[in-house]
Structure 1
């Protein structure tokens, strides 16, 4: 067992099994790989057993960190606050304790106004078993996030986990200063099954994996300006993206907000008649849009730099 320190804080933990894949890694493995070696200090860790007060009522398993890892670490020696969702526990879904840990971290960032925040998204949305508490947590997190940004704190989101970034997680991601996404990452407010259930299979076939990935996947989000950086599925690639986006992240001024609104209005004008992501990619200038899903990381990055929907703000 190793002991790590950061300033006056100390915590002991077992060493983690290493993995290169961000998609395959656990929340704790992502945090360990993202930060400088032995620099992470966890707040409200599993030893404190802050578990959901609701899951036992439904005879559901509990987890001592409630699927949310929060703490303080360093990247290249500079301090950062980190929150990582565990997609392997209830799909990373938001509940009362899960959400409160992220909200508390963002409020601390607001009050200190001196450290960037990294949010490692891996969530299917809100827990149905904690629907009211989860929905309230989403609203409180978004408010805390924007307060932190207005205090001058960059809040960077990283998306590439098994559960994607759906529901309230998609709303929180959209509130971040900047996003990095891998091909495996998916971002959407409504998930494929939710759309199909409410609008029918003719509207969206949730079993059509190619449709799901080209509509909600990382490549599409990068091309339409929903993410600033496209990362490879490696922890090192996400670390490089985080370092870059911390420096890039713009302040939420009136000018940037108005420019973003103008971009969204232009999107309706440009893509309003498109029935599929393939049509959007073709409108952006892709001569063979059907080949984009199969492109390698390097080939897609080169294409995206040329085709990405133009932004009209300071980014």
Structure 2
């Protein structure tokens, strides 16, 4: 069994950022950019007496999926919860810039093969958002990444992968929403405000962050799939996420961007309709919403396997 085979069978939820980055592209093609040997660590953490990492909690690199150059950004939740600071953000932005340069090069040198060589940026999110130790730099990084995503429009896709332990929360929830395609597993969680923060600010009666079932009903992959905040729901393995990536890249760019959740007047109208709907049905729990959209046994959805769920789920 090759190293890639071992990676492919590994749980996406349990995998490190580096394992996810390597496993999402074809065997032997991944090259890490600005890795630990380059010692790009935060200049702010030592001043505060905090430990550093020489990759600042994010793995960036490039590999191939077929003929497609895939630029990977993979966050590491084991380091400050995957929070974004100055260097972390700069590595994300630099990866986008390299992807855009690759797109321009392919367009110039291989214009007739652009579709089969189209690059992509893949972000494997595992983050609570801004790193409070360097909040201003972290907030600026979020804005710069959003700006970079805007620069990809009409050129090449940006794909979000969400299935790691920390989930995707805070400002990075905005970033994920701005991508062209979102791929999640049942264990993935996506939202703006994390469960612990909601409990801290609003109280346990409003949201009990220790209630794992409640957290997953509200922010988990199945709920996001029903609500169309997630385009692909896959099994918890690196191989399954890579298969979804390959499927996305097999489609024409104009088809890929139909998966977007924001970015047009029609999509804004959809979101406004959902606000009206929430006022109309006043749900007390996500299960009320699942039932509204035609799911006959909403209480049983959490117990379904991914395969069973995809076969039966009714989406909005």
TM-score, length basis structure 2: 0.87
Gaps of 5+ in 1: 1-13, 310-315
- Kindly indicate whether residue 27 of structure 2 is the aligned counterpart of residue 37 of structure 1: yes
Contact 1:40 1:74 in 2 (8 A): yes
Cα RMSD over matched residues? 2.1
Check 1:17–1:90 CA distance in 2 against 1; reply closer, same or farther (3 A cut): farther
What is the alpha-carbon distance in structure 2 between the residues aligned to residue 256 and residue 62 of structure 1?
37
Question: Residues 142-189 of structure 1: CA distance to partner in whole angstroms, max 9, x if unpaired?
Answer: 111111224x11000000001100101111100100100011110011
More strand by share: 1
What is the alpha-carbon distance in structure 1 between the residues aligned to residue 72 and residue 295 of structure 2?
37
SS in 1 for 2:22: helix
The residue aligned with 2:272 is 265
- Kindly indicate whether residue 207 of structure 2 is the aligned counterpart of residue 207 of structure 1: no
The residue aligned with 2:80 is 90
The residue aligned with 2:291 is 282
More helix by share: 2
Q: Deviation of residue 286 (structure 1)?
A: 1.0
Contact 1:35 1:73 in 2 (8 A): yes
What is the alpha-carbon distance in structure 2 between the residues aligned to residue 204 and residue 182 of structure 1?
23
The residue aligned with 1:118 is 122
Check 1:252–1:106 CA distance in 2 against 1; reply closer, same or farther (3 A cut): farther
Residue of structure 1 aligned with 2:177, choices 170, 174, 179: 174
What is the alpha-carbon distance in structure 1 between the residues aligned to residue 311 and residue 184 of structure 2?
16
The residue aligned with 1:144 is 148
Residue of structure 2 aligned with 1:21, choices 8, 11, 15: 11
Larger RCO, structure (CA 8 Å, separation 6 or more)? 2
- Kindly indicate whether residue 72 of structure 2 is the aligned counterpart of residue 68 of structure 1: no
The residue aligned with 1:101 is 91
Question: Residues 176-225 of structure 1: CA distance to partner in whole angstroms, max 9, x if unpaired?
Answer: 00100011110011001111222222221112111111000111011100
